[in-house]
Amino acid sequence: MDIYDLFLYMSVGAGFLMAFNLGANDVANSMASAVGARAITVKQAVFIAGILNFVGAVFLGSHVTATISKGIINPEVIADPKLIMIGMFASLLAAGLWVLVATLTSLPVSSTHSIVGAITGFGLVAGGPDVVNWLKMGGIVLSWIISPFFAAGIAYFIFTHIRRYILFQRHFIQQAKKWAPIWVAVTLSMISLSFLYKTPAGKALGLHWLTSLGIAAALSFAAWAAARRFVARFVLDEEEGAEGVERIFRKMQVGTSCYVALSQGANDVANAIGPVAAIYLIAKEHMLLAKAEVPWPMLVLGGLGIAVGIAVLGHKVMATVGEKITTLTNTRGFAVDFGAASTVLVASNLGLPVSTTHAAVGGVVGVGLARGFSAVDFRVLLRIVAYWVATVPIAALTSIVIFVLLKWLCYG
């Protein structure tokens, strides 16, 4: 066994660790609002998210991905492919270890930012400051501010609207029957556009934007018509209390959570498997390629890792995001899901590298603030923000230490 084969086997293990952490941290917090609002139990969330993420990762995941550097460093500056291979392994291991530490302390962090920080760290040591794309790094720092505030603003608006036009009205069941189908239509419009523009499977269709808008509009109208019939049959008693409204939004929230789980599997599996695919290519071809075809067994490995991560440690981050920042109900949870999903959709299409984790937490804070500052536990929020700020430098430093150690072992 030569050094290339050795690093390939080790990177498969590190890739599984990263996928495990994706499931335990990133994916878990996407289901947190549904669990916190009691729309589903933790066991149901684990089951739903595990299956849908696996399906998303294997069947809708990116089969061709820019594996080498995610645009953060210019790998052409580093002439030796073996050095890139060692650096990518160090990055994968460092990012995986940091997200694992965050998960064990029950705090949500961005796995994307972890891998970006780790790659930056090894890039600085291997190629110097000029190898790093600082403009891209600036965009990531900007996303720390944009995504949580944007999601919080949308969630605040949605929940305020639901309160004003449904919950604070005298005949709120009638109001829920009027507004719930409209929110279902708007949500489905966003989901269909998100699928067409955000997932690798949707992008592969290559539809004109007018065609995409037409499909979204047709699906929204069909959803509105179906939801009107469903809601009218679902709540028969006009005098039923607020629980009737929550029951309607509970069903809607399960639907949005399922979509988030599916799209996360499709989009985020590359964070774990992309660097493994890059190392695989270097190990087999002994050369560097800007893009790599990801073998399907690696996507299966990523999907399995995500599913195992949710099952083993997913409950920790779910409890923090879904229960400890503020108290969630089904109407609040729906506002959170809508705020987070629309933030990711809009910002991604503007080219901003937003984090689903940051958007989800921002949405939870937004619905909490709609009920006043006392409804939000700022001590938990400050701990989360501290971890966000620490993610890039800690992942970078850890990556540098691992890279320097491995380089010394391999090159002497």
Res. 350: pLDDT tops 50: yes
pLDDT per position as a tens digit, 247-259: 888 888 887 777 7
Q: Model confidence at 160, in pLDDT bands (50, 70, 90)?
A: very high
**Alpha-carbon span 399 to 122, nearest angstrom:** 6
* Contacts of residue 367, Cβ cutoff 8 Å, sequence gap at least 6: 155, 156, 159, 326, 328, 332, 335, 336, 339
Residue 14: how many CA atoms within 13 Å on its side-chain side? 30
pLDDT of residue 135: 83
- Decide: 310 and 163 in contact? Cβ < 8 Å: no
Structure tokens at 224: 């509105």
Q: Which residue has the tokens 């305020």?
A: 160
pTM: 0.85
d(CA 64, CA 81): 20
Provide the 8-state DSSP code for 73: B
Length of the chain: 412
The count of domains in the chain is 1
> Sign of torsion, CA 329 330 333 334?
negative
Q: Which domain holds residue 387?
A: 3-411
Query: How far apart (Å, rounded) are the C-alpha atoms in residues 296 and 379?
Result: 43
Question: Which stretches of 263-380 are assigned E, i.e. beta strand?
Answer: 292-293
Question: Is it the case that residue 103 has pLDDT exceeding 90?
Answer: yes
Helices (H) and strands (E) in the chain, counts: 14, 2
160 CB contacts (<8 Å, ≥6 apart)?
370
Chain segment 15-56, per-residue pLDDT in tens? 899 989 988 888 776 778 888 888 888 888 888 888 887 777
> What is the SS3 assignment for 296?
helix
